[in-house]
Amino acid sequence: MPGDVPRLLVTVPPRPTIDEAFREVLPDVPWTYLSASPGRPLDRVEALLVGSPDREFGSFDPARLPQLRFVQRLFTGLDGFPFDRFPAGVRVAGNVGGYAPFVAEHAVALALAVARATRAGFERVAAGALRPAPFQTSLRGRTAVLLGYGAIGREIARRLEGFGMRRIGVNRSGRASPGVDRVYPAEDLDAALTEADLLFEARPLTRATRGSLDAGRFARMPDDAIFVNVGRAGTVVEADLYHHLVTHPTFRAALDVWWDEDYAAGRLATGHPWATLPNFLGTPHSAAILGDAERYGIRRALANLRRFFDGTTPPTSPSAWSTWASGAAV
């Protein structure tokens, strides 16, 4: 760890993967961990690398850093981020695309698992039963709608190409984009859903996206469609999705994100008995919880900090909070 007066303060708990990434990406920038900073002068700190400030800061007040101009989050989203703890004018960036290849891989794995009924198939095997085979569908020749055609959406689209799927993106502008056969603007989401044999949700949670997938929206999809959420649970009305699965047994869903996730306690709570549904599969928000993803994500975050210290503009602005709150949707 550099011994000079730090220009960068890391509030994430110390870990070897961070030390290694600093040596590769930011070897010339003096930095220190918050946990190692008692007694060290912090008056020249210009940037923070943070994970979950509410758990990491304790009594630390970033307003005491007179030179602070930029905050880089290690994680992707900014929903729930405590913007009010930072001085006005400080730019905040999520780690956009920081884990996209790994989240996309997980999303496709979930889609295949429910399409080919691997859970039901395993239960048949466990019971010693060969037939009847469970209800399955193929991805070949079907249409996938990618809701939120950003970094994760593009990575999903790239992986779906090998299945011969028609791919439709949904974004704010509706402008054509590489990797998909068609793009709908966000206001035409209802039309896109009628074509969705497979719907991937990969949007951030904003005022515009919160609760935007409800009973009416699921009703527009084919009865045997598949819904996969690797974005944010809050974009979905939990009760509406649960009841749609109950009343449409050939409709299937797979979730990696949940409405009540308590990371401090390592607990998730659900408002409905999801695990009892035969047409449902869930994973514990684990799409990017693997060593390769951690190393990749840390380097992506540090690359953005590299741009900041090199004097180029990272992909954010002083209005990051107002943009998030107003609902930059898809």
What distance, in Å, lies between the first and last C-alpha atoms of the chain?
40
pLDDT digits (tens, 9 = 90+) for 268-301: 999 999 999 999 999 999 999 999 999 999 999 9
The DSSP call for residue 187 is: G
Q: Taking residues 114-121, what's their average pLDDT?
A: 97
pLDDT of 325 strictly over 60: no
Q: Taking residues 116-124, what's their average pLDDT?
A: 96
What average pLDDT does the structure give for the chain?
92
CB 291 within 8 Å of CB 168: no
Task: Give the confidence band of 318 by pLDDT, cuts at 50, 70, 90.
Answer: very low
| Nearest-5° Cα angle at 308, 26 to 73 | 80
pLDDT digits (tens, 9 = 90+) for 165-210: 999 999 988 888 999 999 999 999 999 999 999 999 999 999 999 9
Q: CA nearest 116: which of 226, 22, 277, 32?
A: 226
Amino acid of residue 169: G
Q: What pLDDT is stored for residue 175 in this prediction?
A: 87
pLDDT of 320 strictly over 60: no
pLDDT of 321 strictly over 60: no
CB 103 within 8 Å of CB 200: no
Homologous superfamily of the 8-98+292-326 domain (CATH):
NAD(P)-binding Rossmann-like Domain (3.40.50.720)
4: helix, coil or strand?
A: coil
pLDDT digits (tens, 9 = 90+) for 231-249: 999 999 999 999 999 999 9
pLDDT digits (tens, 9 = 90+) for 200-210: 999 999 999 99
Q: What pLDDT is stored for residue 147 in this prediction?
A: 97
Give start-end residues of each CATH 3.40.50.720 domain in the chain: 8-98+292-326, 100-282
| Nearest-5° Cα angle at 100, 99 to 104 | 125
pTM for this predicted structure: 0.91
Homologous superfamily of the 100-282 domain (CATH):
NAD(P)-binding Rossmann-like Domain (3.40.50.720)
Q: What tokens appear for 243 in the block?
A: 């009841």
Q: Taking residues 118-132, what's their average pLDDT?
A: 96
Report the 10 Å Cβ neighbour count for 163: 18
Distance CA 216, CA 206 (A): 20
Q: What pLDDT is stored for residue 324 in this prediction?
A: 39
Q: CA nearest 145: which of 166, 125, 120, 162?
A: 166
Q: What pLDDT is stored for residue 294 in this prediction?
A: 96
Q: Taking residues 44-73, what's their average pLDDT?
A: 94
pLDDT digits (tens, 9 = 90+) for 140-157: 999 999 999 999 999 999
Distance CA 152, CA 146 (A): 9
Task: Give the confidence band of 2 by pLDDT, cuts at 50, 70, 90.
Answer: low
Distance CA 2, CA 265 (A): 34
The DSSP call for residue 248 is: -
For 10, 91, 151, 200, the CA distances from 46, given in Å and listed in that order, are: 11, 11, 28, 38
Q: What pLDDT is stored for residue 315 in this prediction?
A: 63
Cα-Cα-Cα-Cα dihedral of 315, 75, 46, 34, to 10°? 180
> If residue 269 lies in a helix (H) or strand (E), which one and from where to where?
strand 267-269
CB 237 within 8 Å of CB 211: yes
CB 82 within 8 Å of CB 90: no
